[in-house]
Amino acid sequence: MQINYRHNVMDIHSVTTFARIKGGYNSGCRDVYFIRLLGGNESLKKDVLYVDNMLTKEMLSSQLLYRRITRLPLCLQDNESNYYIQCYNNWIVSDKKKMIIHSTQNNEFFALTLGRAVAQICDKYAQLKKGMSESIQKNFVIKMTWWTDFIFYNWHTKWNEQVCIKVIAQNVSKVQEYLFYYLLTLVGADVLMLQNREDINICDDLKKLSKENVLGDFAEWYLPEFEYIEHKNDDSNKNVSKDNNSVINQETIYKEEVKRKSIKDKEYHKKIVVHIPEHTRQTRSTNARSNTNIARNTTSSHNTNTVYNTNQTVQSNCVSARVSSNPINAAKSRKEKSFEELALLASSIVMIEVHNQLGDVLGIGSGIMIGKEGYILTNHHVVNKGWYYCVRIENDEEVYRTNEVIKYNSVMDLAVIRIAKTLSPLPIYKGRNKLVRGQRVVAIGSPLGLFNSISDGIISGFRVMDSVDVIQFTAPISHGSSGGALLNMYGEVIGISSAGIDSGQNINLAVPYDCINLFIQGFC
């Protein structure tokens, strides 16, 4: 199976946002990021240290691979050079399809993915080196594969198509280094280039491979060097050289006591473990409309500098309604609500104003409270263009501003944002009985900005829209309802309003509860 890599689905405007966003993998397609942040600002050092601590902790718990690179190694030793020459020759024999080096041994899929990525990078380099000779290509490939081992070798987690890899590179100035970091994105890594002193001087065609955003002015923004933690899970690491010319340890290795040291700011210990469910979707039908003023296929900007306490116990049933453990009592306690009672649940449904960098309102959507610690579920197409968001809650005069997009899945059209407030989450239906056509439902959202409007209808069908399961229902919704709740008569969320058909009457669509339950695991 060959993986397709889709670059820069959302805009990234900060180091912390880069660390938090983990691109999804669906049906052979993975979202990756290749970002250039230009200049710096006063919070840069603090943000980088926060990211170092957060991602290092996740790496030690085998959740991802993290590297922050001050400089790539310069010189190969003779024995190492001979090894990579042989790797190059074997790659040529395989018709440039398989690259077997230290990092890809015993991992056929990785070897094939790297082999194709190296071939793509060679084509990019050949555009710069007209009439590129065999020796130039060989030296270039040797350097690319050597640096790949520098990143991946002795990593204790086996590479696969869904593993999370984060690389931050500082002040990249050479074309070959730039192409190497692009190579990493072709094997599934997210790469952030911190160009604090100046932007890289390369042709426009190559620059377009990465997404450019500005942090601030160019200057000598001081960043401490990052020290790697060596994960010693077997005897293979005992004799690793720490010489500056070593393939594996070009940077200083973390001391073992770093694993035990306390971090002064305890907020840095907090993290969210998120899982993006696999699903498939192609392009939506042209007859389908999004219920928002925001175009679906645009990028978004998230300048995440605020750190909230997100450490929590993951429960298997985050937002299910509390019922008695006795089945008879449980059945009695679960009874249908009146429309008046269902209307009271609007206090757990929010209106979301989406703003651009200048503060202008781009559009309005809705959201559902799903976790007490400030977590709000909405549609990806609601948030994917915003620089920040203003969240309004019923019977609360305060407007909660946030720029935290904690998790998203563009295929499922779901996203989670967070505000600094304790919330009252709605219960999500757990599939006690299958939904049926003709079943009564209530929709709550903010159509056309009319805060928490309530409408009723029935489930009119179950559809597959571009390979994604959706609920079709008749409760009227309009632009601004996206992200709102579709409730059963027990007050449980059975779907999240997402789209409608302009050419039809009351043909509206919702992401179903089973997709929601998968997506929100860990946000209770």
Catalytic residues: 381, 413, 482
CB atoms within 10 A of CB 272: 20
For 290, the enclosing helix (H) or strand (E) is strand 288-290
Q: How far apart are CA 58 and CA 466, in angstroms?
A: 35
> DSSP for 453-518?
EEEEEEEEEEEEETTEEEEEE-S---TT-TT-EEE-TTS-EEEEEEEEETTSSS-EEEEEHHHHHH
CB 475 within 8 A of CB 266: no
For 339, the enclosing helix (H) or strand (E) is helix 339-343
Q: What angle do CA 415, 290, 360 make, to 5 degrees?
A: 75
Residues in the chain: 524
**Among candidate residues 166, 206, 160, the one with its CA nearest the CA of residue 185:** 166
Burial (CB < 10 A; 0-12, 13-18, 19+), residue 183, is: buried
CB atoms within 10 A of CB 242: 12
- Radius of gyration of the chain measured on its C-alpha atoms: 25
- Please give the structure tokens belonging to residue 222: 């001081």
